[in-house]
Amino acid sequence: MNIDLTGKTALVTGSTQGIGLAIAETLARSGARVAINGRTASRVDETVAQLGDLDVVGVAADVATQKGTEALLEQLPSVDILVNNLGIFGAEPAREITDEQWRKYFDVNVLAAVRLIRSYLPGMIEKGWGRAIQIASDSAIVIPEEMIHYGVSKTALLAVSRGFAKDAAGTGVTVNSVIAGPTHTAGVEDFVYQLVDKSLPWDEAQREFMRKHRPQSLLQRLIEPEEIANMVAYLASPLASATTGGALRVDGGYVDAILP
């Protein structure tokens, strides 16, 4: 399949590292002009320089806040492709998660996406074409006991996508979620070492983590960010014109179900 995004402008939130960076690079290599987003200008500039041979621009803004979202919209008033990748996660005993932590996870993992969809969807509908893609998680379906606040926020994100897909019905705009499984990023490496012996070399630590904490994985390894990015590029393309309101799995078979 030839995925050609020439002439399209894309925004990927939280794209200075990890999955977001892989998505931004893949979209740009598919021909899109991609806005790299992060909270600090220096980090955004470093990433833009790293992708210097591609058509990318930097937009530094904290989209987890209303003020930051407004600053981003001033710099980037319209997009064709919105990828809500920004998210936070971390292990915390269920009964020790505070109200403040619950609110923070909702603000970052859910409300940031809602604000951007709400802001960009009218322009997409007016043009008769657009893509809004949310990066969810297997934790949305298989709530992990060590971070239920994260899992619940990602469950909400699936509902957000389905709801806005209905709002955009019949307009040429699609809204979908990608259910990402355990993925190899720097942040996940830190998370893995929260749960296994910190003295273990990475390869051993990864295997121990998957064996003890993610034994359902049929892949039996962490997913690479580029594997998530490939699904996003397809959903962002004209080839996925009949896919909307969906939750598509790139989870390595982690979720033990035929459907999400």
A 10 A CB-CB count for 125 gives 16
Both tokens of 224, joined, read 């690479």
The 3-state DSSP composition of the chain as helix, strand, coil percent (nearest 5) reads: 50, 15, 35
| CA dist 212 → 4, 182, 191, 216, 217 (Å) | 41, 13, 14, 10, 11
Q: Is 75 helix (H, G, I), strand (E, B) or coil?
A: helix
**Cα separation, 232 vs 27, whole angstroms:** 8
Which amino acid, one-letter code, is at 157? L
Between vectors from CA 129 to CA 29 and to CA 4, what angle results, nearest 5°? 25
Tell me the β-bridge partners of 31.
Answer: none
Query: Strand 247-250 and strand 81-84: pairing?
Result: unpaired
**Cα separation, 157 vs 131, whole angstroms:** 16
| CA dist 175 → 138, 165, 182 (Å) | 18, 5, 23
Both tokens of 205, joined, read 């630590």
Residues noted as catalytic = 150
Both tokens of 138, joined, read 């297997």
Phi, psi of 248 (to 5 degrees): -100, 135
